């Protein structure tokens, strides 16, 4: 392993990105399909839902603190100077369908940092918030927008139409095949299906990842969010009781924060070589031995009620999260992020329109109801 002091970090440049010539057409088609999913969800629930991260498990008020002793390569963008910022965080499941928490799958985390000033990633963005969107799967399941359209979208379309009991039986069968036949012949279930057989563990003990890269001021990084306070760290790997019910994660989050606070670290993994740490292929794991995740901030949540009716309505109907809403110094990079820019915007516009809900970027954390 190379010593941190001896590492050379890739310098950010617009030339790091290289979109396919048909990328915009792929994204157009993805938006069309996801719009049909949005409309189907509206007919079912009589309200607009996100086409991903539809079900929330808690809306948290917290504080992000940037320490004073960051190394120069880490002290970039909003992390360039020590200080504290209010935070609103939304815990979710990444499905675009409201499902039982007993179903295994990827969980999501939206972090909205307030009071962040500076040149924005998008020229028409006048907000002073910085959004980070993270999931419990370290790498994205599809390399780029083309792979997502040709492989991911048929899967998403099918999953959106399957009832919970059928998905649960399918997951159990897939897990049995993975443990039996496939393991005996040295094979494993593909990554895009393996998420449905992973252990269903406590959401507050999960590590979350940015999956795709983003600009880190003069450099490029991926992000990790992980529990460090004893009560939260103790939840890592703790499985969900199969009898806990369809809203198990929400109930566990509410019960935990009724008694405890929790501290998490936000860590950045800087890119040292675009050959082993590609920008455009989001499925490639960036090797820790070349560049480990290093702490750039802590996020602290004090005891609170994270799921009052007023807070749920604000988090689910009023707030929107988009990783492109933020500083140019933290501009999302790569095909998957360019896809998210347009998909998240289209989904948010539809959801707010059909719900007749205001679309508001909070200027003060007090706007989050108690």
Cβ neighbours of 345 (radius 10 Å): 16
Structure tokens at 64: 């992000």
pLDDT values of the chain reduced to their tens digit, one per residue, 370 residues: 455 656 899 999 999 999 999 999 999 998 888 888 888 888 888 888 887 888 999 999 999 999 999 999 999 999 999 999 999 999 999 888 888 999 888 899 999 999 999 999 999 999 999 999 999 989 998 999 999 999 888 877 777 788 888 878 877 787 777 677 667 777 777 776 777 778 889 999 999 999 999 999 999 999 999 999 999 999 999 999 988 999 999 999 999 999 999 999 999 999 999 999 999 999 999 999 999 999 999 999 999 999 999 999 999 988 989 999 999 999 999 999 999 988 888 888 888 888 887 778 999 999 999 9
Q: What angle do CA 215, 217, 219 make, to 5 degrees?
A: 65
pLDDT, residue 213, reads 97
pLDDT, residue 147, reads 92
Place of tokens 């002793």: 69
Query: What domains sit in the chain, N to C, each tagged with a CATH number?
Result: 4-367 (2.40.180.10)
> Smallest Cα–Cα separation from 78: which of 325, 358, 357, 272?
325
Structure tokens at 170: 């399918």
- Extended beta strands in 28-67, E state: 55-66
pTM value is 0.93
pLDDT, residue 6, reads 61
pLDDT, residue 330, reads 98
Inter-CA distances, 164 with 8, 171, 244, 364, Å: 48, 10, 16, 39
Place of tokens 């999953």: 159
Cβ neighbours of 155 (radius 10 Å): 14
Inter-CA distances, 12 with 90, 326, 330, Å: 30, 17, 11
């Amino acid at each position: 392993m190379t010593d941190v002091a001896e590492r050379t970090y890739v310098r950010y440049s617009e030339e790091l990105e290289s979109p396919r010539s048909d990328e915009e057409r792929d994204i157009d088609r993805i938006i069309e399909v996801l719009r049909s999913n949005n409309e189907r969800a509206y007919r079912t629930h009589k309200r607009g839902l996100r086409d991903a991260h539809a079900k929330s498990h808690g809306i948290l008020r917290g504080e992000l603190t940037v320490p004073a002793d960051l190394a120069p390569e880490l002290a970039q963008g909003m992390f360039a100077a020590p200080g504290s910022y209010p935070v609103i965080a939304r815990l979710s499941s990444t499905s675009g369908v409201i499902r039982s928490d007993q179903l295994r799958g990827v969980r999501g985390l939206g972090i909205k940092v307030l009071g962040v000033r500076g040149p924005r990633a998008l020229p028409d963005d006048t907000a002073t918030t910085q959004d980070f969107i993270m999931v419990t799967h370290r790498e994205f399941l599809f390399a780029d927008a083309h792979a997502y359209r040709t492989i991911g979208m048929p899967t998403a379309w099918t999953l959106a139409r399957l009832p919970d009991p059928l998905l649960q039986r399918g997951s159990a069968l897939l897990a049995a095949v993975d443990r039996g036949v496939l393991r005996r012949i040295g094979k494993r279930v593909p990554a895009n299906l393996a998420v449905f057989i992973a252990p269903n563990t406590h959401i507050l003990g999960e590590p979350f990842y940015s999956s795709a890269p983003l600009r880190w001021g003069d450099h490029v990084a991926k992000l990790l969010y992980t529990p460090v306070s004893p009560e939260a760290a103790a939840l890592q790997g703790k499985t969900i009781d199969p009898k806990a019910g369809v809203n198990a994660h929400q109930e566990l989050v509410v019960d935990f924060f009724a008694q405890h606070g929790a501290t998490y670290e936000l860590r950045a993994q800087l890119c040292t070589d675009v050959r082993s740490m590609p920008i455009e292929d989001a499925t490639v794991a960036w090797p820790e031995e070349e560049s480990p995740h290093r702490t750039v901030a802590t996020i602290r949540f004090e005891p609170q009620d994270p799921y009052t009716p007023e807070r749920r309505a604000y988090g689910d109907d009023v707030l929107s999260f988009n990783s492109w809403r933020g500083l140019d110094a933290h501009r999302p990079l790569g095909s998957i992020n360019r896809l998210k820019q347009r998909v998240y915007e289209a989904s948010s516009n539809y959801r707010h329109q059909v719900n007749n809900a205001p679309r508001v970027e909070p200027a003060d954390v007090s706007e989050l109801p108690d």
